[in-house]
Structure 1
């Protein structure tokens, strides 16, 4: 990386870190650039605020960070060595092309742990204490008691034991619940009382004793349609499903049928299939369905946590180039 002065930044600089212009969660991307500058005061952090600035700056940049990397921008990236994706997921990136060019790719895994963990816990308690029933009676000004549940003693199955799944498990610990983790390599264990794989037998056996099913897994060929009609018929009929993974992990038509037939108690969906959910979709009409607009990932601390990861990797790259490992490395 090029040596530079403290925070100086001109168009002629070859930046140590180039920040692309797209932000997320409605938070100005300038805050991300500023967070990186705070952590890397001796490096040049350049924020490209227009398409033309991006195309010009990326020609010589070696270390680039951003939410997306469009094909035409990649064409201009003559010296790109590291792309630090500002999302945890990287499926939207041209990974094949990046791999062919030998570009190292990292992601933002771990950034979402606290906020999504809290979102999941809130969704579980929303169902347990039936706050949706309370809200309906409040709107009607009805002072009328209703039955609720206790989380204590329940069984919570968490599909996906990455940073988010682990954060969910940590936040469940004080509630005295049994936990089952589902992951690709169950032999690695995890922060749950029991860990199983994705095979139909063990998974369906777990569903049969699950009170709360938390989907916190990536969307893969294995997880696409994981919660299908068979799964929804197998799960405990008093169960709640919380999906903060991706919409297609659940078969939407089967979910609608399950809700209509009372196969499950409720569902809390931060993601849907299709997404955005059309205005006329039947899922909007269920009072025992909580829908949030892919909002679990929002946190005012997003750029601060992201900058911790990216600044550390920028320092490692500055010291060792591509000879050393980078945190959250996806490619190669």
Structure 2
């Protein structure tokens, strides 16, 4: 299919996690052998092909490119979060938007579990002693009977909860609509009193929520003073969910035992930032989302939606977000 033809399913050129976008296009072709799946590999190709495309998928779709989209009906976002998209303009054009919720559940769930076990068994202390060839015992902790609070019970939060089931922990889930329940032993909302009570008895606080007006800065100075001093903070959400200055104070003052940060504010974390200097802070460069199965899981969602769309342009789609 030439780039001048109409793209039945258009894939935009930006890849994710350093993996070539060609792999995503190939995964879609495997699942949709009857479709013409076209990859726009240059900015010019994107502008030309999106003019008549009805179904488009990709990581990004900015306002400038959207201006060229005359026939767009569905945009399959390749990220779980959609806050970077021009959602107002898409809604005004009656474009259905879906996200990649569920793609990251297994790998980020494993990342969180690894971070928790690292602090429970203090593998970082053992690693330092290995580097020094020092055979000397050190104290550790036990995960069993701990309380783990998970803020956000989407696909990632649920995956974390599932992986904790074998460890004999008590789990508390925090979500906007606690009446909906969840897989945790207890589900609460962001109500001040309930949330404060959960923090006071939490030994591992996992942040797996989207960044919203409610969650921005939800872990502030007051939260860090309230939390159990033996608690560990694990952030796989977004950096601004935690107030960085308050976290620095908490670490310096011993208000918490440590932190595992896959996201930071600012991000990328500057080379001279003090967060790099703490021995009880694990920093990974927004890497929890990486998995070799990313494009395969994403293609499963988008291919299913493309099939539904072809059968009925008004059909409800998987992971369709509210306008």
1:45-64 matches, within 5 Å, as 45-64=37-56
2:85 is equivalent to residue 96 of structure 1: no
2:288 match: 296
Task: Please give the secondary structure, in 2, of the residue aligned with 1:76.
Answer: coil
Task: Please give the secondary structure, in 2, of the residue aligned with 1:329.
Answer: coil
Does the 8 A contact of 1:99 with 1:331 survive in 2?
no
Q: Which runs of 4+ in 1 moved over 3 A?
A: none
1:14 match: 6
Structure 1 stretches lacking a partner, 5+ long: 1-8
Aligned CA distance change for structure 1 residues 147 and 177 (closer, same or farther; 3 Å): same
Find 1:170's aligned residue among 149, 162, 165: 162
Does the 8 A contact of 2:4 with 2:48 survive in 1?
no
After superposition, the C-alpha distances for 1:154-198 in whole angstroms (9 at most, x for unaligned) are 000000000000000000000010000000010110000000000
2:318 match: 327
CA distance in 1, matches of 2:2, 2:33: 16
CA distance in 1, matches of 2:215, 2:169: 25
Find 2:175's aligned residue among 183, 187, 191: 183
CA distance in 1, matches of 2:81, 2:88: 15
Structure 1 residue 331, shift from structure 2 partner: 4.3
2:141 is equivalent to residue 149 of structure 1: yes
| Aligned length in residues | 323
What is the TM-score normalised by the length of structure 2? 0.99
2:54 is equivalent to residue 87 of structure 1: no
Structure 1 residue 201, shift from structure 2 partner: 0.4
Does the 8 A contact of 1:106 with 1:331 survive in 2?
no
Task: Please give the secondary structure, in 2, of the residue aligned with 1:330.
Answer: coil
CA distance in 1, matches of 2:28, 2:5: 17
1:252 match: 244
1:37-48 matches, within 5 Å, as 37-48=29-40
What is the TM-score normalised by the length of structure 1? 0.96
1:5 match: none
1:314 match: 306
Find 1:272's aligned residue among 264, 274, 286: 264
Task: Please give the secondary structure, in 2, of the residue aligned with 1:180.
Answer: strand
After superposition, the C-alpha distances for 1:6-54 in whole angstroms (9 at most, x for unaligned) are xxx2234322210000001010000000000000000100001011111
